[in-house]
Structures are given as C-alpha cells and as structure tokens.
Amino acid sequence: MTDTLADQFGCHTDYDPSAMPVDLARKLLLDTLSPVEGTETLPLSDALGRILAVALRSPLNVPPHDNSAMDGYGLRGADLVADAPVRLRVVGAAFAGQPCDVVLGAGEAVRIMTGAKLPAGVDTVVMQEVVQTDGDWVVIPAGQRPGQNVRKAGEDLAEGGLALAAGTLIRPAELGLLASIGIAEVQVRRRLKVAIFSTGDEVTPIGTPLKEGGIYDSNRYSLFGLLSRLGVEVIDGGVLKDDPVALEAAFREAARIADVVLTSGGVSVGEADFTRDMMARLGEVLFWKISMKPGRPMAFGRIGQGSEGAWLFGLPGNPVAVMVTFYQFARPALMRLAGQDPVPEIPTLKVQCTSPIRKQPGRTEFQRGVLYPENGAWKVRTTGAQGSGMLSSMATANCFIVLPENQGRVDAGAWVEVQVLDGIV
C-alpha cells in the first residue's frame, strides 16, 4: 500500500478513529475493501451460495420458441370478433415437446397444451375452461383478445443477452435460470477464508468445568453460525489467553492462512486488552471506536502485508455486541471481499413501536426487537432488557430497532425504523 489507511480516509471531515459514526464506518469499510483473487469452476449443482466470477450470457432464447401459456385452443387472432362468439373447426392437436405440422387456416383452431410450440398460423390461445366444444368444433366466447396466453420466444432471456452479472450470489432461482440455458458448469470466486478467535483469560471452552470468574465461550459459536450462513471457510483458532506473545504468534499465523481474522474481546481500554495494540504493531488500525450502542469498542484494520496479511475485525467481548457489530460491519465487509456486487443492505421497515424506549442522544442504538403482525399491520416491541451481555435477547429478536444518533426517548406508538434479521444470511 502506498498510503496508510488513515491517509486514504483522513480527507473525510467526520473521520475520527476513536468515535466513528456508524454510516461513515460502514462506508469506509466498503470503500477500502475489494474482492479477493482466485476462482474455481464448479458443476452447477455445487454452486449454490457461491459468487459468480464472470458475467454469463444466454446462448439461446428462453423460451426457445413461441409457446402456449396454458391448456386450451390455439387460433388466429384475426378470427376473433370482439362482441360475439366465434365457431371454429378443430383441425389438430399440439403437445409440449412434440412436433405439430398443422398449418392453421381461417376459421380453424388447434387443441394445444401448456408449453407446446405454436403451430404455423396460431398467434392466440384461449383457455379450455371458457370454451364450448361440439365434436370437431369449438365455440370461442366474446371478449377474447388477439395474442393472449402466448409466451414469446426470448421473452425471458434473449439469445446473447446478459443472463447473470459477475458478482451475483447464486441462489435457487439463479440455479434454475442457468439450467434453463443449458449451463452445466460455472466459474465462481473462491471461498473467503476467515479465522476466528475468542480472547480472554476468563473465556472457557465448552465441555470443560468453569473456574471461578470464568465464562463459557459463546462468541465463537455465534460467529461460527453467522459465518457459516455466509458460506465462507471458517478457520477455528479457539480461545486465546491474554498473553501478548501467544496472541502475536496466533495473529501472524492467522494472517498467513486467512483473508480475514475475526476476534472477540480485547479492544476496549482495559489493561489486559491487547488486541488493538497488537493490530497497530503488526499493521494498522483504521478505527477502533464506533459511535453506537451496543458495540462501541470495535476495531478494524489490517495486519501483515501482501500474501502474509489479512483484514482484521476486533469485535467487542459482550455477546450481543459481537452479533450487532457483525451484522452492521463484518457482514457487508465479508460480502464485498467475497465478490458480491452490489453488497445488499439489511432490509428495513418503518413500523409502529408498541413499547416505550429510553435513550439519550449521542449514539446510534440497535435495540433488539420482535416484529409481529397486528390487525393487518406490522408492529414492533423490544425484547425487554437490553444489556449487551444478554444473549437470550438475540435469540428472541427477529429485528433491530435502529435509533439514530440524535434520537432521544421513544414513546409507545411512535414510528421507528427496524432492520429485519430473519433470512438475511
């Protein structure tokens, strides 16, 4: 890097690494990061959840020919009469996937099934439920429109047209779309490698007895779940004690093998909080405090250089703060690094809050909430107590109630913005 991270963003008038506004911190993250290099080619059936590395164009029209949108009768639109029924002679049948050599003349119709290629002369289909049949004749009721119930060749995808852009996340719909144009293999970006640690002498691995003053390591498991749903390769570094020598060795090794290092704990101002100092010694910290609650002590920067370097997120130690900062900052950053373009925002809604909320202006707050339907409208209530160590509130919540920096107390019945959490990763 020719400039330091601070040099790149010192021009922002609001840039203050010790008190970063939420929106600016998110913007700096996305402006700083670019997708990792490296691709692989996969069978289509293995590509779910991966990021498309190159744009794909359709080698054919979809559908490949004009066809019927439903079961019914194919006819010439010119034979219809707007305000009167029409009697037509049935001269054949057309089935999906089978040839039909009928050439339709004036006053004639053909029995046709959904998906069948339109025989020569047919440009209109009338659904079977509205017609009357009489032997080899069919009566078409008044009110039918020329050209109805026909799917045109290429109306979904035109031959040579863009099917999917590079940077597209391949979901079930994208799998089906690619299959519809005969794509059997796709070139995707390689999986992002993310190393995770928990830090602190008090943090105890599950499955071992708790010592006095100890707590079980929940953060690493929350992060493992969040990362797994993003489809990255997780490298589990376990629990690190507050030992500067061991921390430095672990960080150097993680930076060597991973693209991103995620830690929890060790970024506040306590004497035993080494993570931020370690980041600064091994690389550079772009910011280390966010003007938000919960999650104020969150560091972002880079450790190491080139292939021996990695981006590093020093998340807070409190369990709720870990998840809030992951959703707000680590999640979009990882999507950018994985190559997703554009990076999707968490869906937001404006809804009425049915419970009062205490708040002082000065920081953006992310309160845990429950979004629920009532009398045909969506409402939200808090999960109750909002302590940053109360992980049960995250298990109850399905949204964040986002209260802006200058917001004060919220009265019951006020409209608030919520971020919907269910299904975002």
Residue 391 in domain: yes
CA 75/CA 357 separation, integer angstroms: 65
The verdict on residue 425 lying in a domain is no
CA 228 vs CA 72, 281, 340: distances in Å: 48, 30, 16
Q: How many domains does the chain have?
A: 4
Task: Give the C-alpha distances (Å, rounded to integers) separating 170 from 174, 321, 322, 340, 379.
Answer: 5, 30, 28, 10, 32
Query: Does any domain span residue 274?
Result: yes
Q: In angstroms, rounded to a whole number, what is the distance separating the alpha carbons of residues 84 and 141? A: 7
% of residues, the chain, pLDDT over 90: 71
**CATH number assigned to the domain comprising residue 171:** 3.90.105.10
Q: Are 334 and 232 in contact (CB under 8 A)?
A: yes
Nearest alpha-carbon partner for 141 in 131, 150, 129: 131
Q: What is the CATH number of the domain that holds 82?
A: 2.170.190.11
Please tell me the predicted confidence (pLDDT) of residue 129.
Answer: 96
Verify that 95 and 163 share a domain, yes or no.
no
- In the numeric block, which tokens belong to residue 270? 């306590």
**Tokens at 401, concatenated:** 């109630």
Both 294 and 325 in one domain: the answer is yes
User: Same structural domain for residues 367 and 255?
Assistant: no
Tokens 């010592």 found at: 211
Q: What pLDDT score was predicted for residue 321?
A: 93
Are 263 and 199 in contact by the 8 Å Cβ rule? The answer is: yes
Judge if 138 and 198 occupy the same domain. Answer: no
| 203 and 228 assigned to the same domain | yes
Q: What is the pLDDT of residue 128?
A: 96
Q: What pLDDT is recorded for position 271?
A: 47
- 112 lies in the same domain as 237: no
Pull the structure tokens for residue 169. 């996340």
CB atoms within 10 A of CB 63: 17
Which residues 6+ apart lie within 8 Å of 22 measured at CB? 290, 291, 292, 328, 364, 405
- In this prediction, residue 297 carries a pLDDT of 85
Indicate whether 208 and 319 sit together in one domain: yes
Task: Provide the token pair at 196.
Answer: 């995770």
For residue 418, the cross-strand partners are: 349, 401
The CA distance from 121 to 67, in Å, is 12
- Domain of 30 in residue numbering reads as 5-38+191-338
Evaluate whether residue 343 is within a structural domain: no
Task: Say how many C-beta atoms besides its own lie within 10 A of residue 281's C-beta.
Answer: 14
Q: What is the mean pLDDT of the chain?
A: 90
User: Which residues of the chain have a pLDDT value below 70?
Assistant: 1-18, 266-276, 423-425
- 200/332 same-domain check: yes
Q: What is the DSSP letter of 347?
A: P
Residues 330 and 220 in one domain: yes
pTM to 2 decimal places: 0.87
pLDDT digit string (tens) for 168-179? 999 999 999 999
